[in-house]
Amino acid sequence: MERIKVLVVDDSAVVRQTLKELLDSDPQIEVMAVASDPLFALKRMETEKPDVIISDVEMPRMDGLSFLRKIMESTPSIPVVICSSKTESGSENALKAMEYGAVEIIQKPKLGTKQFLEESRVALCDVVKAAHLSKNKRRLPLAPMRDVAPKLTADVMLPKASGNTMIETTDKVVVVGASTGGTEALREFLEALPEDAPGIVIVQHMPEHFTAAFAKRLDSLCRVGVKEAEDNDTVIRGRALIAPGNKHTLLKRSGARYYVEVKEGPLVCRHRPSVDVLFRSAARYAGKNTVGVIMTGMGDDGARGMKEMHDAGAYTIAQDEQSCVVFGMPNEAIKLGGVDQVLSLSKIADTVVHKAR
């Protein structure tokens, strides 16, 4: 299989070198070139087109948003991944880039412990592969990665429920998982909900510090309230909680009250937050009172958790292939037999409201 050619654009020599080393460690990926600013990158693209571009947002001579617009105008088939700092301005610009057509956000890697760099490598390579799949709109066979730590399951965060969950309330709760393409899918889904929609908890694969800006942006657009989840937040009607980047978020229950637990933990299905962790907690503590939704994204995070919810009596929905940017996560859930209904993105909100009555 041909290697995925990546063009890295960043004004920091350290970041360029770090990204190149992390990406080149994967046998499926090849960094075809690095560039210190968009003008050098555009010149390089005259002789060779990359499969994926990784670009900073704040750069000299031409900013990343202007560069992204040029790419969207000239070669929109090339997926662009935004590599941004965790500053407030960096988060806002990264979200603007998603609205302009970027497919993913990653946080700039920093030198740190061996575990930190390994997690950065795994996440970065997965993002590049997901971006490449988004261009093709079809699932390609992926060769196994080299020297990757074992892929952990939700068992590391909480054990699977034994027997039927005892439900002490009839209130419904909605849990949603998404990855590549999910920022825009979630916006469309949440914008379509009425202000008295059932309480929602969402895991969107997104780096630390970006989820707060993402929630704030959605809150300004939607009739339901949207906020980044904090530990012990109550899940209430008319509000959506978004799991913070780099923290697992679990649904819990105390009597008739649903709330979230936000906690540290290892990568699960190579992600933190993990959809599987949220879905398993919903199966355990809400059972048949849950409506679960799995949206666009690469990989299988959420598939096993959705099957557990389905087996516990929840109503489960998967986004269909036609409306997905990447049909990986929904497809894996469907193959496991954990999905009750496959729907176009435009129909999910109405169905969720109906099933959560």
- DSSP string of 230-272, one letter each residue: -TT-B--TTEEEEPPTTSEEEEEEETTEEEEEEE----BTTBS
pLDDT of residue 156: 79
* Start-end of CATH 3.40.50.180 domains in the chain: 155-355
Specify the pairing of strand 225-228 against strand 257-263: unpaired
Q: Could you confirm whether 320 is annotated as catalytic?
A: no
Is residue 239 helix, strand or coil? strand
Over residues 28-57, mean pLDDT = 95
Concatenate the DSSP letters of all residues of 144-202 into one string: PPSSPPP---GGGTSPPP-SPPPP-----EEEEEE-TTHHHHHHHHHHTS-TTPPEEEE
Helical H segments across 25-153, by residue range: 38-45, 64-74, 88-100, 114-136
Eight-class DSSP state of 271: B
Q: If pLDDT is split at 50, 70 and 90, which confidence band does 142 have?
A: very low
Residue 38, pLDDT > 90, answer: yes
pLDDT band at 154 (very low <50, low <70, confident <90, very high): confident
Q: How confident is the model at residue 326 (pLDDT cuts 50, 70, 90)?
A: very high
**Residue 255: other Cβ atoms inside 10 A:** 7
Amino acid at 29: I
Q: What's the one-letter identity of residue 134? A: S
Whose tokens are 């939607």? That residue is 222
Give the whole-angstrom CA distance, residue 252 versus residue 232: 9
Separation between Cα atoms, residue 321 and residue 56, nearest integer Å: 30
Residue among 51, 300, 301, 320 flagged as catalytic: 301
pLDDT in the model for residue 178: 97
The confidence score (pLDDT) of residue 6 equals 97
* Two structure tokens written together for 12: 């920091």
Q: Of 55, 84, 91, 179, which residue is the catalytic one?
A: 179
Segment 232-246 shows an average pLDDT of 97
Average pLDDT, rounded, for the chain: 89
Mean pLDDT in residue range 316-340 = 97
Percent of the chain clearing pLDDT 90 (strictly above): 69
Kindly indicate the confidence band of residue 139, based on its pLDDT and cuts at 50, 70 and 90: very low
pLDDT category at 8 given cuts 50, 70, 90 is very high
The CA-atom distances, in angstroms, between 9 and each of 4, 80, 91, 209 are: 16, 11, 18, 22
Write out the two tokens for 39. Answer: 């003008």
Determine what percent of the chain is predicted with pLDDT higher than 70: 89
162 is catalytic: no
Q: For residue 46, how many other CB atoms are within 10 A of its CB?
A: 7
- pLDDT grade for 120, boundaries at 50, 70 and 90: confident
pLDDT band at 247 (very low <50, low <70, confident <90, very high): very high
Out of 3.20.20.100, 3.40.50.2300, 3.40.50.1100, 3.60.60.10, select the CATH number for domain 4-136. Answer: 3.40.50.2300
pLDDT interval class at 148 (50, 70, 90):
very low
Question: What pLDDT was estimated at residue 60?
Answer: 82
Residue 36, Cβ neighbours under 10 Å: how many?
18
CATH number of 155-355: 3.40.50.180
Residue 164 has pLDDT above 80, yes or no: no
What three-state secondary structure class fits 304? helix
CA proximity to 318, closest of 294, 354, 353: 294
Residue 69 pLDDT exceeds 70: yes
pTM for the whole structure: 0.84
Per-residue tokens: 280? 């398993």
pLDDT(200) > 70: yes
Is 205 a catalytic site residue?
A: yes
Write down the pLDDT at residue 109: 72
Which ranges in the chain are annotated with CATH 3.40.50.2300? 4-136
**Residue 211's pLDDT is what?**
93
The residue annotated as part of the active site, out of 91, 126, 205, 323, is 205
Average pLDDT over residues 227-233: 97
Tell me how far CA of residue 68 lies from CA of 78, 103, 291, in angstroms: 10, 11, 37
